[in-house]
Amino acid sequence: MTSAGGSLVERHGATLLEVAAAAIDNGLHSGHEMPLAAAAYASDLWRPRASFVTLTIEGRLRGCIGSLEAFRPLVEDVAGNAYAAAFSDGRFDPLTAAEQSRLQLSVSVLDEPEELRFDDEPELLAQLRVGRDGLIIRSGRRRAVFLPQVWESVAEPEAFLHHLKAKAGLDAHGPADLEAWRFTVEHVSSA
């Protein structure tokens, strides 16, 4: 089923979606995260990588949780983030069994974030690659992230950054201490 060539998601995307779906199913039935056995998965999936799992129903966001830093094996990160997106995303009630059959899953595997150096907002915006980059911003203790898929609904760099600042609870015209990192993802979706 897997080949030696191709990207990680090309080789193992179906497995990552299966793990995410199984983690959600296990959560619905047991109320707990799903234990994983290393022998059941390719060694590539046991290397530490950061991921996000996004849940949608009929095109509307139903949950999205992820990791910005690679601190556990990818397969565990996907399982844990799928469970959290379904049952612990504070923006939504926990997923119900009635919703499960309408759920679309998306797994994004993040590359290492690259810190962006800039003196002002126009300089930051000039470094963004529209449609390709995800963006992490931080000011003090406030932080927010948009995956590259957000470009599908917010196509202008200024609007992208403005919405991300709002998500972080930051003023649109500041702050002076803003830090930013861009990253790319490998993405696979069940829809």
* Residues 131-160 pLDDT 10s: 999 999 999 999 999 999 999 999 999 999
4 confidence band (pLDDT: 50, 70, 90) = low
Does 167 have pLDDT greater than 90? yes
Q: Which two tokens stand for residue 79?
A: 């399982």
CA pair distance 188, 191, nearest whole angstrom: 9
- How far, in Å, CA of 130 to CA of 127, rounded? 9
Identity of residue 106: S
Q: How far apart are CA 2 and CA 99, in angstroms?
A: 31
Q: Please tell me the total number of residues recorded for the chain in this structure.
A: 191
Task: Write out the DSSP string of 36-55.
Answer: --GGGS-GGGGSB--EEEEE
pLDDT score of 191 more than 80 = no
Say if residues 106 and 188 touch (Cβ distance below 8 Å): yes
What is the pLDDT, as a whole number, of residue 3? 45
Percent of the chain with pLDDT over 70: 98
Interval 35-63: pLDDT, tens: 998 789 999 999 999 999 999 999 999 99
What order of strands is seen across the sheet that includes strand 142-146? 114-116, 179-183, 134-139, 142-146
Report the distance separating Cα 79 and Cα 75, nearest Å.
Answer: 6
SS3 73: strand
Predicted local distance difference test score (pLDDT) of residue 39: 85
Ranges assigned E (strand) in the chain: 51-57, 60-66, 103-110, 114-116, 134-139, 142-146, 179-183, 185-189
Q: What is the pLDDT of residue 86?
A: 98
166 and 172 Cβ atoms separated by less than 8 Å: yes
Rg over CA atoms, the chain: 17
What three-state secondary structure class fits 178? coil
- Summarised one tens digit per residue, pLDDT across range 57-110 is 999 999 999 999 999 999 999 999 999 999 999 999 999 999 999 999 999 999
In DSSP terms, which residues pair with 149 in a beta bridge?
none
Work out the average pLDDT over 109-131: 96
Give the Cα separation of 88 and 86 in Å (integer).
6
Contact 132, 108 (CB under 8 A): no
> Which domains are assigned to the chain?
8-110 (3.30.700.20), 114-184 (3.30.1490.150)
